């Protein structure tokens, strides 16, 4: 698989280089040169998740990963289901939270960790990543205990749920976590600064497990196929998929699935009050506001770093950006949506509720809708309990970590401090 830097197309790398480097020159994102349309989509949809995903990823990545290696990575990574649950006659939830850290990021994180371990070559690797909540857990658990790979995770102090924090800041070992005095965009900016520092990069073998890493996005393509595979055949035309969006990696993966030939008519990019994209699509002006904290905190991103990939996909396919619907929901509207879903018999959490609400407002007669449920409701227990009048039991995975002490370090939003910290080990 060959990839180019969207900002500097003359910079070209293979899959292994793209996975190891994460970001290209000048913070440009890597994008595959070729997305090969699949001529056997109907047959693929008949296969079980793991076999189908092996076929899709092999078509995308090509010979660079020998098929025995790729097949092993996929069967080790995708060990949990992604059920499609009917919520209304023409609306389904795709539940992506049945992995070990109860969020969709387990798909990408587990695939990336195993891929990196397979292609790593010599020398030390340091994974530096910023999280708005769920990436941290998925990455920490995916890399925990891997030899010679250090993981450092930055997160905005006090701006992620206490349960989210417990899930990834209690591991220790090769996982270090740092609470930054700032918001998620600050954390993301620190990571980008580290990547711009060539000396640092070399000294510690810097890599990012953020959704800027192409391996994560390729893994996520697979569950869009899994969604359609579970849909009754009569409902596979006129399909609309609503994606709760923060950094827009999930949407990017969905668009790649469509490019490969998966029959999805259109997407809805759903956001909270951090609505840079819906405003941009209406006005044509890219004007990020300061990031605000919301109930759906994993989407508290005002400078979504995968957006250039979304535009690249539209450009290369000759699709018009006006075909991408996008809408935002306030916290108040999110609460109302959660309650409405509860009344219909479906228990959800804030991110999925936003995707459901924009979908039901936008769905036209004759269309079938799928909204992505990106996290387990118990991961947002504090809000969900309050809004729905429940006392959700903690799933085992969460309960175990909830009882352990936090091991995080604290740091001001200052790159020179982070640099020293990274060089310490």
Ligand X SMILES: *Cc1c(COP(=O)(O)O)cnc(C)c1O
Q: How far is the CB of 168 from ligand X (least distance, A)?
A: 12
Number of residues that bind ligand X (CB under 6 A): 17
For ligand X, the closer CB: 19 or 119: 19
> How are beta strands 30-32 and 2-5 bridged, if at all?
antiparallel
Point out which span in 85-93, 176-184, 239-247, 326-334 binds ligand X (CB under 6 A).
239-247
Q: How far is the CB of 250 from ligand X (least distance, A)?
A: 4
Point out which span in 26-34, 230-238, 248-256, 333-341 binds ligand X (CB under 6 A).
248-256
Site for ligand X in 95-134 (CB under 6 A): 103, 105, 133-134
Point out which span in 116-124, 171-179, 241-249, 324-332 binds ligand X (CB under 6 A).
241-249
140 binds ligand X (CB under 6 A): no
326 binds ligand X (CB under 6 A): no
Site for ligand X in 30-89 (CB under 6 A): none
For ligand X, the closer CB: 244 or 369: 244
> Which of 136, 156, 246, 254 is close enough to bind ligand X by CB under 6 A?
246
Q: How far is the CB of 217 from ligand X (least distance, A)?
A: 9
Q: How far is the CB of 349 from ligand X (least distance, A)?
A: 7
375 binds ligand X (CB under 6 A): yes
HEC string of the chain equals: CEEEECCCCCCEEEHHHHHHHCECHHHCEEEECCCCCCCCHHHHHCCCHHHHHHHHHHHHHHHHCCHHHHHHHHHHHCCCCCCEEEEECCEEEEECCCCCCCECHHHHHHHHHHHHHHHCCCCCEEEEEECCCHHHHHHHHHHCCCCCEEEEEEEECCCCCHHHHHHHCCCCCCEEEEEEECCHHHHHHHHHHHHHCHHHHHHHCEECCCCCCHHHHHHHHHHHHHHHHHCCHHHCCCEEEEEECCCCHHHHHHHHHHHHCCCCCEEEEEECCCCHHHHHHHHCCCCCCCCCCCCCHHHCCCCCCCHHHHHHHHHHHCCCHHHCEEEECCHHHHHHHHHHHHHCCCCCCHHHHHHHHHHHHHCCCCCEEEEEECECHHHHHHHHHHHHCCCCCCCHHHHHHHCCCCCCEEEECCHHHHHHHHHCC
Q: How far is the CB of 136 from ligand X (least distance, A)?
A: 10
Q: How far is the CB of 81 from ligand X (least distance, A)?
A: 18
Q: How far is the CB of 118 from ligand X (least distance, A)?
A: 24
Point out which span in 170-178, 242-250, 386-394, 405-413 binds ligand X (CB under 6 A).
242-250
d(CA 188, CA 155): 9
d(CA 97, CA 104): 5
> Which of 298, 337, 348, 388 is close enough to bind ligand X by CB under 6 A?
298
Point out which span in 50-58, 229-237, 246-254, 360-368 binds ligand X (CB under 6 A).
246-254
213 binds ligand X (CB under 6 A): no
272 binds ligand X (CB under 6 A): no
247 binds ligand X (CB under 6 A): yes
Q: How far is the CB of 134 from ligand X (least distance, A)?
A: 3
302 binds ligand X (CB under 6 A): no
Q: How far apart, in Å, are the Cα atoms of 7 and each of 27, 35, 59, 91?
A: 8, 19, 25, 38
d(CA 164, CA 203): 31
- Per-residue contact string for residues 339-368; x = within reach of ligand X by CB under 6 A: ------------x-----------------
Q: How far is the CB of 346 from ligand X (least distance, A)?
A: 16
Please give the residue whose beta carbon sits closest to ligand X in the complex.
Answer: 134
276 binds ligand X (CB under 6 A): no
250 binds ligand X (CB under 6 A): yes
CA dihedral sign of residues 54, 223, 75, 66? positive
Residues in contact with ligand X by CB under 6 A are 103, 105, 133-134, 211, 244-250, 298-299, 351, 374-375
């Amino acid at each position: 698989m060959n990839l180019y830097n969207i900002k500097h197309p003359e910079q070209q790398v293979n899959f292994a280089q793209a996975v190891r480097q994460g970001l290209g020159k000048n913070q440009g994102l890597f994008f595959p040169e070729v997305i090969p349309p699949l001529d056997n989509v109907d047959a693929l949809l008949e296969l079980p998740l793991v076999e189908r995903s092996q076929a899709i990823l092999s078509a995308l990545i090509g010979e660079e990963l020998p098929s025995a290696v790729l097949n092993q990575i996929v069967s080790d990574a995708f060990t949990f289901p992604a059920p499609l649950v009917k919520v209304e006659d023409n609306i389904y939830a795709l539940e992506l939270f049945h992995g070990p850290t109860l969020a969709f990021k387990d798909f990408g994180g587990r695939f990336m960790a195993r891929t990196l371990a397979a292609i790593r070559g010599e020398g030390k690797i340091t994974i530096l990543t910023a999280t708005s909540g769920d990436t941290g857990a998925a990455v920490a658990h995916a890399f925990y205990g891997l030899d010679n790979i250090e993981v450092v995770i930055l997160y905005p102090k006090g701006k992620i749920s206490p349960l989210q924090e417990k899930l990834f800041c209690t591991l220790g070992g090769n996982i270090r976590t740092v609470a930054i005095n700032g918001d998620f965009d600050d954390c993301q900016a620190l990571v980008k600064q580290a990547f711009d520092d060539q000396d640092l990069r070399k000294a510690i073998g810097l890599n990012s497990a953020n959704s800027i890493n192409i391996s994560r996005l390729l893994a996520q393509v697979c569950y869009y196929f899994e969604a359609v595979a579970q849909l009754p055949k009569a409902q596979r035309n006129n399909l609309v998929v609503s994606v709760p969006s923060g950094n827009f990696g999930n949407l990017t993966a969905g668009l790649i699935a469509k490019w490969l030939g998966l029959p999805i008519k259109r997407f809805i990019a759903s956001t909270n009050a951090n609505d840079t994209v819906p405003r941009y699509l209406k006005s044509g002006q890219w004007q990020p506001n300061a990031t605000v904290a919301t109930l759906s905190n994993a989407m508290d991103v005002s400078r979504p770093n995968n957006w250039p990939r979304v535009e690249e996909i539209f450009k290369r396919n000759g699709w018009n950006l006006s075909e991408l619907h996008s809408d935002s929901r306030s916290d108040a509207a999110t609460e109302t949506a959660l309650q409405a879903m509860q009344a219909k018999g479906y228990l959800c959490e804030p991110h999925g509720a936003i995707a459901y609400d924009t979908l039901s407002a936008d769905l036209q007669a004759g269309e079938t809708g799928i909204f992505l449920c990106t996290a387990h409701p118990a991961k947002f227990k504090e809000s969900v309990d309050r809004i729905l009048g429940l006392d959700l039991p903690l799933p085992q995975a969460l309960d175990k970590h909830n009882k352990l002490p936090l091991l995080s370090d604290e740091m001001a939003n200052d790159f020179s401090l982070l640099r020293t910290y990274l060089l310490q080990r």
